[in-house]
Structure 1
Amino acid sequence: MAKASKKKALGRGLSALLKDPDNDIQSAKDKNADKVVGSIVELELESIEVNPFQPRSSFNEEALEELASSIRELGVIQPITVRKLDFNKYQLVSGERRFRASKLVGLETIPAYIRIANDQESLEMALVENIQRQDLDPIEIALSYQRLIDEIDLTQEELSDRIGKNRSTIANYLRLLKLDPIVQTGMRDGILSMGHGRTLIAIEDENSQIEVYQEIIKNKLSVRETEKLVKQVLSGKTRQNKTKKPIVSDEKQKAIKSISSAFGTKVEMKLSKKGNGKLIIPFSSDEDFNRIQQLIEENLHD
């Protein structure tokens, strides 16, 4: 959690820097521009305008509400990207769903990456340098890869050449961004390993994914144990789905004891979830069977 607070503190400092009219940053060559490129900055939502050339013109309201609910609970996990237009004025480059959902929640600021004029090369250098750090969590690495692909317009093959990583490694990291935000947060906080995350990707249903995530935490499951649990979920044989024995009430237990005493043998009762069931009266021989039959007939005549 300390890592998150450190990022927020840094963002607030950069926000103050960007609001200084005497040192307005318009180019990658301007003073303090290197502090902005590749960093996360807390920007006021009011200072950001949507891109008029955004190809997506309609947004699913239900999906937007779900994202807003996630942001309300966890905050904005993946920063948006904006382009600096003028002093304290920005235009959205990517992340319009996050931008709109944050407005629905009523946030005043949002974490953002700022693009400034002539910053293409500087941004690429900053991102590549950031990837080489040793203290990044898997989600941070995945986000950096995604930014290089989206903003520098690289293919996975080109990115592989730039950073010296196998294409399969890059693809594995990028898949982590498909995980539910709650699971991503668990990885960022160090609760889950990348191995856990890669295993959970196989579960497409968000509710099931979160249930398995909670199971991992509760029982401290290893990656191998998680793989087994995921296979159970995908085959419909989860622990939760296994038939549980219905609870027999004290009243029924007393009745079973009374019946067992009357027949001189241990009578068993099997109940279903619906409440119906059956009594099993065991016998040890033909003579024992005839004895029980006679008792039943006598009780019927009574």
Structure 2
Amino acid sequence: MTSFQRKTGLGKGLSALLDDSDAVNPPKNGVNPVSEAKHETHNNSIGLINISDVETNPYQPRTEFDQVALNELAESIKVQGLIQPITVRKHTGSKYQLISGERRLRASKLAGLKQIPAYVRTADDQQMLEMALIENIQRENLNAIEVALSFQRMLDECNLKQEQLGERVGKNRTTVTNYLRLLKLPPAIQISIRDQKISMGHARALINVDQADKQLFIHDEIIEKGLSVRKVEELVRSINSIQLKPKQSRQSPGVSFEYQKLQRDLASKFATKVKLKVGENGKGAIEIPFVSEDDLSRILELLDW
């Protein structure tokens, strides 16, 4: 029986989900180290399974695979064997369902392998989706929109909060928020991000423009004139300075001392000027301005949002 050493490449989030206490060593002399016998680890196992018994992952977040890269991986597998096993769960009968490693599975088929080393895990549908998403986020060169969509799916379908999502994927909350905000941009801009016609830096600048028509105008300028991120940031500031020229603000004349104190307390808490507007009927609004994305993230943290 071949011994297996821990490998840290999975990342904290995926490793925790898999309860992963084993991984494989690189092969020697082109021989894959996984033996025909299965190695029991708790309720899970590691071993060789028939490729024909593996069904694709219905939760796979990635739909496009680079054929050239797949062919290169297939050639490597022919020479070196498959170094990193795929991860599956037991399905019906003798069948398995892929959790992660679709690139490796496809390349192994191209290499002509009949069997493939696999971790056989116990996972329900939600865990399976979460594992597949995290594995893609951590291991693939996803574009920013694919990452954002994966984050959104984890929030919606795995019932996670942003803090939990950040812990799973090893990102801070601000980074997660920045990706999720990309999904609020017009579809044409999202396509340009996906196709790498504009960068994440361009997109982050566009997010700070609150009208879609202005966002699209700047987007077209980026494409046509090849604007740098710095130029776009300057353009956005220029547009916002015109759009947000201060108007003569009117404080409700009937704001009581208690409300004024509350306004001061809120301003102190959020470290920014807070406006408290109260009408005669007792209805009103609280305005908390922010000056940047980081400032907004800071305020959201204080609100525990």
Q: Computing the radius of gyration over CA atoms, which structure comes out larger, 1 or 2?
A: 1
Give the TM-score, by structure 2 length: 0.41
Give the TM-score, by structure 1 length: 0.41
Q: Could you say which structure has the higher helix fraction? A: 1
